[in-house]
Amino acid sequence: MIKIITSLITNDKPGIIEQLAKIVTHHNGNWEASNFSQLAGKFAGVVEISVAEEQQTQLITALQQLQQADFIIDIATSSLSNEQAKTSHIIEVTGNDRNGIIKDVSSVLAKNNINVLKLSSETSPAPNWGGNLFKAIIEIQASDTNAIDAAIDGLESITDDLIVDITLL
Predicted pLDDT of residue 135: 92
Q: Considering only the top CATH level, what class is 89-168?
A: alpha beta
Whole-number pLDDT of residue 88: 84
CATH number of 2-78: 3.30.70.260
Number of H helices, E strands in the chain: 4, 8
Half-sphere exposure of 86 (CA within 13 A, CB side): 15
User: Residue 104's pLDDT is what?
Assistant: 93
Report mean pLDDT in 10-residue bins for the chain, 169 residues: 95 94 96 94 95 95 93 90 66 89 93 92 82 90 87 87 74
Q: From start to end of the chain, where are the E strands? A: 2-11, 30-39, 42-51, 72-78, 89-96, 114-126, 131-142, 163-168
Is-same-fold flag (2-78; 89-168)? yes
Q: Are 89 and 148 in contact (CB under 8 A)?
A: yes
Quick check: pTM over 0.75?
A: no
Q: How far apart are CA 148 and CA 156, in angstroms?
A: 12
Q: Domains of the chain: which residue ranges?
A: 2-78, 89-168
